[in-house]
Structure formats: structure tokens, C-alpha cells
Amino acid sequence: MFKRGLIVFILISVYGLSFSQSNFIDAIIINRAGDSVPGKVDYRNWKNNPENIVFLNLSGDKKVFTGADIKGFYIPSVKESYAGYNVGIDMLPGDKDLAISNVSIDSPTIHRPVFLLQLLRHPSLTLYQFRTRQKDHYYYVKDNQQPVELIHNYSYEEANNRVLEHSHYIHQLDSLFSSCTAVQQEAGTVKYTSKSITNIFLKYLECTVPGSSVEVKKKDPTTIKFGIIGGVSINSFDFTGSSELAADNYSGNVSPIFGLSMDIGLPRNRNKWHLVNELGYKAYATENSLTNTTVNGYGVNTDVKMSFSYVQLNTLARYIFYGNKKMDFYFNAGIGNAFMIAENENSLHAVYSYGTEVDGKAIEGPRRYEFSVLGGAGLSVGKIQFEFRYAFNKKGFSPSFALDVNPRSYQFLLTYQF
């Protein structure tokens, strides 16, 4: 069973990766001469600013551009503008923990060509963001001058074993907003975030050029979709330990799975990362016939039957490989928290060699909570998702230290989203 499940998983993975494609959409680049050139850009809804872009002109010629090659580019469908500049980049850590782990920095500032994402634009003042894996950088351009970075970083002082925060951007904003006293006074409380910095720039422009048009980048969207889940779970059980119930050859069962899902697509990167929550029903059922010998040497044949129903809450992280317009491939992994809602059967019937028969419970006080680990891969076709998933846990419904029950499940799921 494990080999067959692994084969299904690999086949889905290989197929999904085979059609993961680029994403060329309409765009306009501005060359160094200031001319607008229409074409298509391989747009990735970048979380971190791109180091270069792949451009396809109207003749079908493909070229790669950096911030040194062009003045910028514009994506009409998402209304995003990037400007190409050669800028100084503050390399000191933007995080306290990084300041401790990176005591030595080769150079506090480096210069290189980059693409800056436009957050706000007015003829007299423009605000940009440059995001890397390490930190966010913010730049402003005043009256078509060169970009100036708003500096915020941390450093570690080894002599006193402490981390120092350097909020130079507050002094920079104080100087920049000197022509508007009311906004200048607010500069000292501005947080080093996209929202806070954009808002203070808007207030400054409203103060200095009231009523004028200001172009502001829209907030990156978070998508939410709900779904109905249906499918089957093929379950097997391992009973191990020193208990008399520990034995091989416990039967498995096929359980229906049904429930609801909420799929949250996180901003940027074309919503490739998703947080998925599922609430559903599942059931376990197993039985076995055991032969043991008592301490007095009598033989005993025992039939055990167990059947339990659960409601389970799953939380998964999902990564989507976007393919063609009709089909996408995804991986996900996460955890499940299940709660027993019904003890359908929990029986034991023992027959001793001297003729006595005893009936009782197979497991006294079964565990009503189960923690499991989940992983799977699937295909998304329109509103429908097909997924193969594997789930396992180490304790199952046994409350005893002398007995571990390890359920393993191969699940085939279909989700309809709306």
C-alpha cells in the first residue's frame, strides 16, 4: 500500500512540475532614451524585488534587463510600476537577531542597479520600496533627483552585550518635511513599515500641495475561498507494545471523508503560498482475533472490535506551481487535530480453554484526542481540486503506555471551491 501511494504521489509531482510555466503578461518598458516599448514581461508578482526581468517584444524577441539597462517597466493589469536605478543599499541588519549573528559586515553600504517598486508618486515626490530576503528598504526621490534611502538598522555592541537600534530615517523625514510643521512633528512616531511611511508621505503632500493627484499603489490582495470536501481514506493500524492487544494483522478500513475548507492565498508571489484550514469527518474501524496464554498456562482466544468516529481540524501550508490557465499543481503539508465524537464499537470477547467466556471493552477509556501529520500533492482544475494525501500519528486511540496504536491513512480527496 505504501509503495502504491508513493507512486501516485511521485506521478502527480512529476506531472505538475512538467507544466509549471512562465507567466508572460502585457507590459511596457521605458528604455534609457525615455521611449515606451510595449511587449510582455515574465511577471512573478515578486515578494522580493526582481534582480532582472525577462521581456518579450512584439516581434517575439526575448531579452533580459536589469535596473541598469532600462528606466523601468509598468504592468497595466496589476498597476505596478518599477523604476531602474543605481542606488546605495544599507547592508546593516534590519532585525535584532540578525544583528547578533552578523557582528561583522564587509561593507555597510553597497551600490548596484536595482528595480524599485513604486509605492507613491507625485511630480514633486516619489516613494519606492526595495525588498530583499534580509529586510525592507525605502527610498524617496524628490524633484527628479537621485533616490535617497531611509535608513533603519540594528547593530550589536559586543563590549556591552547589547543591540542598538538606529532610526536615522526619523531624522531624514524630519528634514524632508520641514516645509510642513504639522507633518514634521509626526515624523518622530512613524514606524518603519510600508503602511506608516506611505501614510506620512500622503499627509505631507496633502499639506504642501493640497488637492493634487497622487498615485498610490493598492494593497496586495489576500484571497479567500471556501470549499466542500469529499473523498475516502484507506486506513491501516499497527498495535505495538507490551499489552496483550499488541499484535499483527489488525484489519484496516475504508472511511468516507467529508467536510468544509477555507483556503487563504497569501499576498505577493502570485498567491503561490496558501494557508488551508479544513474541518471534516473521518472514522476508524479495526478488528482482530488473538491467541494468548495466561500466566497459569491456559489458552485464551480473544476477538476485539473497535470503531470510532472523529471530527478533525487540519491546518496546512500549500505551495502552488501555476501551470496553464486550466490546471495547476500543488504540494501541501501540515497537522491535524482530531476529536472523537462517537465510540461506535469497543468490544472484547475472550474464550478460555477451560470454557469460560468473558465480554468487555477492548480499550478502557480510549484517547479522545489525536494529533497527526499530513502531507500531499494535488491538481487544481478550475474550481475542482484532486489530491492524494498521506497522514500518520504515533499514539492513536490508545491511552495506555503499554500499547501504541499507529493509524496510517492514504486519502483520495476532491474539493469543490466557491
CATH assignment of the domain containing 38:
2.30.30.100
The C-alpha cell at 61 is 524577441
Total domains present in the chain: 3
Can you give the pLDDT at residue 324?
65
The per-residue pLDDT for range 299-317, each reduced to its tens digit, is 999 999 999 999 999 999 9
Beta bridge partners of 236: 408
Distance (Å, whole) CA 137 – CA 175: 19
Percent of the chain with pLDDT over 70: 93
Q: Of 176, 198, 219, which residue sits at a domain end?
A: 219
Query: Residue 8 falls within a domain, yes or no?
Result: no
The C-alpha cell at 397 is 486511540
Can you give the pLDDT at residue 98?
86
Can you give the pLDDT at residue 49?
96
374 and 393 fall within a common domain: yes
The pLDDT of residue 103 is above 90: no
Beta bridge partners of 290: 302
**Overall residue count recorded for the chain in this entry:** 418
Can you give the pLDDT at residue 44?
87
Centroid of chain to Cα 122: 35
Taking CA atoms, 6 is separated from 9, 14, 317, 389, in Å, by: 5, 12, 20, 10
The pLDDT of residue 106 is above 80: no
Residue range(s) defining the domain that contains residue 388:
223-417
Q: Which residue in this structure is represented by grid cell 503632500?
A: 205
314 and 240 fall within a common domain: yes
Can you give the pLDDT at residue 104?
62
The per-residue pLDDT for range 60-77, each reduced to its tens digit, is 999 999 999 999 999 999
Can you give the pLDDT at residue 285?
98
Least confident of 114-123, 268-277, 309-318, 359-368: 268-277
The pLDDT of residue 355 is above 70: yes
> Is the separation of the CB atoms in 165 and 172 below 8 Å?
no
208 and 283 fall within a common domain: no
The C-alpha cell at 273 is 503560498
Q: Of 35, 59, 78, which residue sits at a domain end?
A: 78
The pLDDT of residue 325 is above 70: no
Can you give the pLDDT at residue 270?
78
229 and 159 fall within a common domain: no
Query: Residue 18: pLDDT band by 50, 70, 90 thresholds?
Result: very low
Query: Residue 105 falls within a domain, yes or no?
Result: yes
Can you give the pLDDT at residue 219?
86
> Is the separation of the CB atoms in 72 and 84 below 8 Å?
yes
The pLDDT of residue 55 is above 60: yes
Can you give the pLDDT at residue 23?
83
157 or 254: which leads in pLDDT: 254
96 and 115 fall within a common domain: yes
235 and 117 fall within a common domain: no
The pair phi, psi for residue 51, each rounded to 5°, is: -80, -30
Can you give the pLDDT at residue 20?
46
The pLDDT of residue 105 is above 80: no
Query: Residue 357 falls within a domain, yes or no?
Result: yes
Complete DSSP assignment for 398-413 = ---TTEEEEEEEEEEE
N-to-C CA span, the chain: 33
* Global model pTM greater than 0.75: no
Can you give the pLDDT at residue 21?
56
Burial (0-12, 13-18, 19+ Cβ within 10 Å), 363: buried
Query: Residue 312 falls within a domain, yes or no?
Result: yes
Closest CA to 238 of 397, 393, 407, 374: 407
Q: Of 173, 198, 219, which residue sits at a domain end?
A: 219
Q: For 18, left (φ over 0), alpha (ψ -120 to 50), or beta?
A: alpha
Q: Write the DSSP symbol of residue 188.
A: G
Can you give the pLDDT at residue 240?
95
Can you give the pLDDT at residue 14?
47
The pLDDT of residue 19 is above 70: no
Least confident of 112-126, 208-222, 322-336: 322-336
> Is the separation of the CB atoms in 406 and 238 below 8 Å?
yes
